[in-house]
Structure 1
Amino acid sequence: MIITKTEKYTLLKPDENSIDLFFESFKTKYSKFEGEHLILDFSEKINTKLKDLLLFLELSSQHRENGTSFVLICKGIDIDEIPEEINVVPTITEAVDILEMDAIERDLGF
């Protein structure tokens, strides 16, 4: 797992061969990221499927309940098939936009 921390968020990129292996690694290290806004970047992974992203659904919901953002970057996924409880966008720019929109919603009490 490649970890890049910025002032606003933590970016995680898998260096594992599969999303399943990355998910297992991420789950074991998840407690280190509590309280941080997370972006998981799968944009360089080819053939990422919706079922792979849904592995993160529960953690995404838990993370958001704690008042922090959780965004996945993945290209080639039909946005209409993705549950509303998980944020999936195709680029890092859109992921940062989601973080900003989440911050505004939290400030407004949503």
Structure 2
Amino acid sequence: MIIDYNGNIAIITQENATIIELVKKLQTLYPKFENNNIIVHLTTLKTLAAKDIVEFLVISNMHRDNKHSFVIVRDNLDLDELPDQLVVVPTLQEAYDMIEMEDMERDLGF
């Protein structure tokens, strides 16, 4: 797991561990980036299904309840198979755009 920061955004890139290992590691290290928006970049993982992405649901909901964005970057997924609570986009640029849009919504009180 690689963690980079871009302003108030923590970008977490996973290269070779399983999704379950990544979620456990995120939960352990969560205090380190709980006040940042989070992008989980998963495009380097070869085999990944929608059921794997659902593993992020608990930590995503918790983070979003604390008024921060949690965006997963993964292409080649059927978004209809994912819960509406998860924000999944195909590119890193779209993740940044989504965070910017959610920041504006929070500023407006939505």
Using the size of structure 1 for normalisation, the TM-score is: 0.93
Matching residue of 1:89:
89
Matching residue of 1:6:
6
- CA deviation after TM superposition for structure 1 residue 17, in Å: 2.7
1:27 aligns with 2:27: yes
| Matched pairs, number | 110
Structure 1 residue runs of 4 or more that deviate by more than 6 Å after TM superposition: none
Distance in 1 (CA, whole Å) between partners of 2:8 and 2:28 is: 23
* Residue pair 2:16, 2:45 contacting (<8 A) in 1 also: no
* Residue pair 1:16, 1:22 contacting (<8 A) in 2 also: no
Calculate percent identity across the aligned residue pairs. 36
Unaligned runs of 5+ in 1: none
Name whichever of 15-24 and 34-43 sits farther off. Answer: 15-24
Matching residue of 1:57:
57
Unaligned runs of 5+ in 2: none
Matching residue of 1:109:
109
Matching residue of 2:41:
41
